[in-house]
Structure 1
Amino acid sequence: MTSIPRAPLILGLAGLIPFIWGAFTVLSPALAAWGLENIGPRFVGPYVQLFYGSVILSFMSGVLWGFATKASGSQAATGYVLSVIPALWAFFMTGGGPTSAATNLIFGFIGLLMLDFAFSRWGLTPRWWMQLRVLLTAIVVACLAVTVI
């Protein structure tokens, strides 16, 4: 295994904060009340997770697009097509209330992990990519599951 460089690891872990915070505020009414009073309703419970999850899926579409630029021919075309799926998924699948939106985000992040694996297998990602993506995806899915349950 290739170790994950420090900067991507720290930034990736920092990017989990809204998911973790959202899960904690779902589990703790006292923390949710504090969050409502001090930072507002958009930044507690499922709301922060759902909005941020949609943003991150869209961001990851851009990351995959960047990986596709390293390919050529039909592999590049396939990479470009696949790279837009996470953003489209976030756009179309996060309505209908917090439970269904969180469920769809879980499926979106699992699907993204499968796309990460494909791009990795094609040699378009850094060697440490999957190690980072599995770690981050597991935590994101666990935090979103708190909202679903």
Structure 2
Amino acid sequence: MTGVPRPAIWLTASGYLPFAAATLAIWLLPLEWRDLAHIAALGYGSVILSFLGGILWGLAIAEPSSAAADTGRRRGLWLCISVVPSLIGWVAIIIAGSAGLWLLTLAVAAMPAVDLAARRSQLAPSWYLRLRLPVSVAVTLTLGLAAIGSGLDPSPIPSK
């Protein structure tokens, strides 16, 4: 990852570990632990989605002022966009069953498009996509697996 600050790489990679742990717990631990693992995946996913929105907020408010007439509108647009991930995370927490994990999965899957738009508008640094894309793919797949595991019916199949 040329040009990406090392601390950002390590912190981003380590931020994936709770997703992996919660998903493994959903699939591998006894059924009585499945609800706790589901809550862990849902809670952490919502927090991280909010964090990603916070990054956008920070980039928008740190944008240098310019004489361009649309700077205020552009900053306002990015500030509005930046709160959407937190709202999605909040909704994911309050909806029932595996639907919350599916909502988080879709939201995380959409974030690279937002990151690309932030980069194209020169809001994000040049290395930002190289940092975010691999972990977005990994988290999307992992949350999808968590959602599948959380949605499985734990009751035994009736015999004929």
TM-score bracket, normalised by the shorter chain, equals: 0.7 to 0.9
Amino acid at match of 1:15: G
| Rounded Cα–Cα distance in structure 1 between residues aligned with 2:111 and 2:126 | 17
- Closer, same or farther: CA 83–18 of 1 in aligned 2, 3 Å: same
The correspondence of residues 7-18 of structure 1 with structure 2, limited to 5 A, is 7-18=7-18
The alignment's C-alpha RMSD in Å is 2.0
> What is aligned with 1:93?
92
1:10-54 deviation per Cα after TM superposition (whole angstroms, max 9, x unaligned): 000111111000111122136x87xx5xxxx74xx2221100011
| Rounded Cα–Cα distance in structure 2 between residues aligned with 1:94 and 1:3 | 36
| Rounded Cα–Cα distance in structure 1 between residues aligned with 2:119 and 2:74 | 13
Answering whether residue 49 of structure 2 is matched by residue 49 of structure 1, we say: no
* TM-score, scaled relative to structure 1: 0.84
Number of residue pairs the alignment of both structures matches: 140
> What is aligned with 1:21?
21
| Rounded Cα–Cα distance in structure 2 between residues aligned with 1:62 and 1:29 | 33
Answering whether residue 83 of structure 2 is matched by residue 84 of structure 1, we say: yes
| Rounded Cα–Cα distance in structure 1 between residues aligned with 2:8 and 2:28 | 30
| Rounded Cα–Cα distance in structure 2 between residues aligned with 1:134 and 1:113 | 6
The correspondence of residues 1-149 of structure 1 with structure 2, limited to 5 A, is 2-29=2-29, 42=36, 45-69=37-61, 70=63, 72-149=71-148
Unaligned runs of 5+ in 2: 65-70, 149-160
Bigger Cα Rg:
2
| Rounded Cα–Cα distance in structure 2 between residues aligned with 1:114 and 1:48 | 26
* TM-score, scaled relative to structure 2: 0.79
Amino acid at match of 1:74: R
Instruction: List, as ranges, runs of 4+ consecutive aligned residues in structure 1 with deviation greater than 6 Å.
Output: none
Amino acid at match of 1:60: L
Task: Tell me if structure 2 keeps the 8 A contact 1:4–1:131.
Answer: yes
Identical-pair percentage:
28
| Rounded Cα–Cα distance in structure 2 between residues aligned with 1:138 and 1:128 | 17
| Rounded Cα–Cα distance in structure 1 between residues aligned with 2:147 and 2:51 | 23
1:86-134 deviation per Cα after TM superposition (whole angstroms, max 9, x unaligned): 0011112333334101100011112222211111111111111111111
